[in-house]
Amino acid sequence: MNTPVLFKPDALPDHTHLWENIVIGSGPGGAETAVMLAETGHEVLVLEAGAYSPRETVPPYTPQEMQSRYAQGGITLAVGRPSVQYVEGCCLGGGSEVNSGLYYRLPEELANAWRSYPVLGDNLPAELEAASNAIEQDLSVSLLPGEAPRASLLLKDGAETLGWYCPEIPRWQLYDKEHPKGLRQTMTRTYLTRAQKAGARVCTNLEVQKLKRGQDYWLVLVKPHTRSENLGDGTAQDAAQDLTLKAKRVFVCAGAIRSPALLKQSGLISRPAPLWCHPTVKVIAEFKDEVNQGSEVAVHQVKEFGRAMGMGCSISSPHYLLASLHNLPGGDEAVTERWRHLLCYYVMIAPEGRGMVRNLPFSGTYPLATYSVTPRDLSVLSLGLQRLCKLLFSAGALRLWPTVKGLGPFTAPSDLALIPDALPRRGSALMSIHLGGTCAAPEITDPYGAVKGCDGLYVQDASLLPEPLGCNPQGSMLALVRRNLNHLIPDL
């Protein structure tokens, strides 16, 4: 059992005070912004819409976790043909509390390409390298000290048979005597704790609804959430009335969907930049042996095909397996009778398609996302699906269910000839856990995340990443935010 987090969110902030810095959102972008400001002696107030939900209080990868730690209970869809189901964290620590902790530096080809990108600047590769070195130390980025889970080893075996490159991906995970199995270095365990120690105030269940320009400060309109909160010591924070706070500077770190929505809602931008994601299709594989070790996180990924296409293992808890399989022939029985024999894998692509975030009068404060999957993306996904199925048969799989209605289950490599050249627009269940891009446009932000025409207003989160990375994005985002703060702080 992991050591409980001893984080204690602060009480409601003083609305008569003029805060020096307000940070909206406590995910990786917001937490890093808060710690960098607080540790350089600046006053910081963090406002998080979600609750404090320590990993020990709710079992991971269950419907209860979806309800308590995910935006909209995990039911979020970028509408299109096909739609892309996506998820975002909504709790103290944001996505870092629910993610797998798989760490990448920004791929070198992108770091070089982004030098000429109008928003990022020439010295980018060197600045990002310095930032990544610091982050890797802060978050104990490391490889597994022992053997990888079976799900990982099967992917590796299948890849090796085919001669494909399939490395272990490091994670932000602390291994020591007390935690031989590792302690996930979430934001509540790292940057938010450090920020609070350095004097930052960190408040939960406070959703910012709008920003307004005051005379020489920002007005931050906040709605307290009524959801009662476990503060880690059994107490709950009472709901309170709407608040208006004042701040000299505001850092919007509400994630790739809600940061642009808040700016648009506040009339500060005319429209968000295009949304990118990594469209992903899954395959559930059945093996002869009991290979499913529950909530163990698999750490290998197939990187044979560069940025264009990657493969890895998804969470394979019974709940997640059922969510993927329940519509597919024989899927329900397979999960109820043989879930220990089942593992979920995925192929994800760096797509050409893009989406849009829109504020609609009837969608409340949570915006609507739309997404267009292009014909080329459907072909690349199909190729990826064929390759992943081939790999899984090489690893010894007996039966494969792609999450595409009408396809499978496949029981022999010869069945793969049934996969069409492009995935169908109807019946393909696509999803993504990586989002970005929505504030990365020269008309919205400058090269360091300052919002154009809005003195003292910044964006520092995944919405600044200009294009799909083709790998897990949190490490690259943290490096970009750190580099931006290194540039901004001396001038504050």
Ligand X SMILES: Cc1cc2nc3c(=O)[nH]c(=O)nc-3n(C[C@H](O)[C@H](O)[C@H](O)COP(=O)(O)OP(=O)(O)OC[C@H]3O[C@@H](n4cnc5c(N)ncnc54)[C@H](O)[C@@H]3O)c2cc1C
Does position 438 bind ligand X by CB under 6 A?
no
Please state, in angstroms and rounded to a whole number, the distance separating the CA atoms of residues 104 and 128.
12
Does position 367 bind ligand X by CB under 6 A?
no
| Count of residues interacting with ligand X (CB under 6 A) | 40
Nearer to ligand X, 382 or 403 (CB): 403
Please state, in angstroms and rounded to a whole number, the distance separating the CA atoms of residues 360 and 368.
7
Nearer to ligand X, 47 or 323 (CB): 47
Does position 47 bind ligand X by CB under 6 A?
yes
Does position 99 bind ligand X by CB under 6 A?
yes
The string of DSSP codes covering 366-389 is SPEEEE---HHHHHHHHHHHHHHH
Using CA atoms of 25, 31, 36, 42 in order, give the dihedral in degrees to the nearest 10. 50
Chain-centroid distance of CA 303 in Å reads 20
Does position 468 bind ligand X by CB under 6 A?
no
Nearer to ligand X, 283 or 433 (CB): 433
Which is nearest to 285 in space by CA: 384, 165, 166, 410?
410
Does position 311 bind ligand X by CB under 6 A?
no
Does position 312 bind ligand X by CB under 6 A?
no
Does position 432 bind ligand X by CB under 6 A?
no
Does position 9 bind ligand X by CB under 6 A?
no
Could you tell me which stretch among 11-19, 275-283, 391-399, 471-479 binds ligand X (CB under 6 A)? 471-479
Does position 229 bind ligand X by CB under 6 A?
no
Nearer to ligand X, 116 or 244 (CB): 244
Nearer to ligand X, 346 or 410 (CB): 346
Minimum distance of ligand X from residue 8's CB (angstroms): 17
- Residue 31: in which H helix or E strand, if any? helix 28-38
Class of residue 458 by CB neighbours under 10 A (exposed 0-12, middle 13-18, buried 19+): buried
Does position 151 bind ligand X by CB under 6 A?
no
Q: Given candidates 474, 479, 480, 484, which one binds ligand X under the rule CB under 6 A?
A: 474
| Token pair listed for 407 | 């396809």
Check whether the bond before 409 is cis (ω within 30° of 0): yes
Does position 65 bind ligand X by CB under 6 A?
no
Beta strands 243-252 and 18-24: pairing type?
parallel
Binding characters for ligand X, 193-212, by CB under 6 A (x = yes): --------------xx----
Dihedrals phi, psi of 190, to nearest 5 degrees: -125, -90
Binding characters for ligand X, 243-262, by CB under 6 A (x = yes): ----------xxx--x---x
Please state, in angstroms and rounded to a whole number, the distance separating the CA atoms of residues 108 and 114.
10
Minimum distance of ligand X from residue 64's CB (angstroms): 15
Does position 423 bind ligand X by CB under 6 A?
no
Nearer to ligand X, 365 or 379 (CB): 365
Q: Given candidates 49, 250, 323, 347, which one binds ligand X under the rule CB under 6 A?
A: 49
Nearer to ligand X, 72 or 394 (CB): 72
Check whether the bond before 82 is cis (ω within 30° of 0): yes
Q: Given candidates 82, 101, 232, 470, which one binds ligand X under the rule CB under 6 A?
A: 101
Minimum distance of ligand X from residue 281's CB (angstroms): 16
Are 454 and 108 in contact by the 8 Å Cβ rule? The answer is no
Q: Given candidates 21, 96, 193, 237, which one binds ligand X under the rule CB under 6 A?
A: 96
Please state, in angstroms and rounded to a whole number, the distance separating the CA atoms of residues 10 and 34.
14
Could you tell me which stretch among 59-67, 99-107, 239-247, 303-311 binds ligand X (CB under 6 A)? 99-107
Are 465 and 440 in contact by the 8 Å Cβ rule? The answer is yes
Which is nearest to 183 in space by CA: 126, 288, 101, 263?
101
| Token pair listed for 280 | 């992903």
Distances (CA, A) of 186 to 62, 137, 448: 19, 14, 25
Does position 473 bind ligand X by CB under 6 A?
yes
Binding characters for ligand X, 152-191, by CB under 6 A (x = yes): ----------------------------------------
Please state, in angstroms and rounded to a whole number, the distance separating the CA atoms of residues 237 and 8.
11
Nearer to ligand X, 91 or 383 (CB): 91
Nearest residue to ligand X, scored by beta-carbon proximity: 27
Using CA atoms of 259, 97, 206, 34 in order, give the dihedral in degrees to the nearest 10. -70
Residue type, 139: L
Minimum distance of ligand X from residue 89's CB (angstroms): 5
Chain-centroid distance of CA 265 in Å reads 23
Please state, in angstroms and rounded to a whole number, the distance separating the CA atoms of residues 289 and 448.
51
Does position 457 bind ligand X by CB under 6 A?
no
- Collapsing DSSP to helix, strand or coil, 16 comes out as coil
Are 132 and 141 in contact by the 8 Å Cβ rule? The answer is no
Nearer to ligand X, 54 or 408 (CB): 54
Could you tell me which stretch among 93-101, 335-343, 372-380, 441-449 binds ligand X (CB under 6 A)? 93-101
Radius of gyration of the chain (CA): 22
For ligand X, the binding residues (CB under 6 A) are 24-30, 47-50, 87-91, 94-96, 98-102, 207-208, 253-255, 258, 262, 433-434, 461-462, 472-475, 477
